[in-house]
Structure 1
Amino acid sequence: MMSSNTARPAKLHYMANGFRMLATGDHVVCAVSGEKIPLDALRYWSVVKQEPYASAELATKAALTA
């Protein structure tokens, strides 16, 4: 039986121009809001903090509170 990645969080390494999957999954969790972000919708992250964000606004909020 094939295993499904549905509802399993991925573990990623965030880089300047993309990310590398360390553990398979279908989403990551926003570091600010706790919202699930499907991998195909992931656009914002911090390379320094190694954390994802659900929107540009949340990424900005995280940067300003650092």
Structure 2
Amino acid sequence: MLMSNTDRPAKLHYMANGFRVLAPGDHVLCAVSGERISLEDLRYWSVAAQEAYASAELATKAMSPAA
């Protein structure tokens, strides 16, 4: 029986110009909001922190020094 990647989080390695799938899945979770991000919609991540973000605003928030 083949396993489906539907509803399963992927494990990714984030690089400057893309990402590599280390473990198959159909989504990742935003490091700030916990929101589910489909791999097709993933646009924002941190190479240094190896984290994904759901939006530019959340990426900015994650990378800003705490006030």
Superposed pair shares fold, TM > 0.5: yes
Q: Distance in 2 between matches of 1:2 and 1:10?
A: 17
TM-score, scaled to structure 2: 0.95
1:1-66 alignment, distance < 5 Å: 1-65=1-65
> Percent of aligned positions with the same letter in both sequences?
76
Ranges of 4+ aligned residues in structure 1 off by more than 3 Å: none
Helix, strand or coil at the partner of 2:20: strand
Q: Distance in 1 between matches of 2:33 and 2:6?
A: 21
RMSD of equivalent CA atoms = 1.0
Aligned-residue offset at 1:3? 1.0
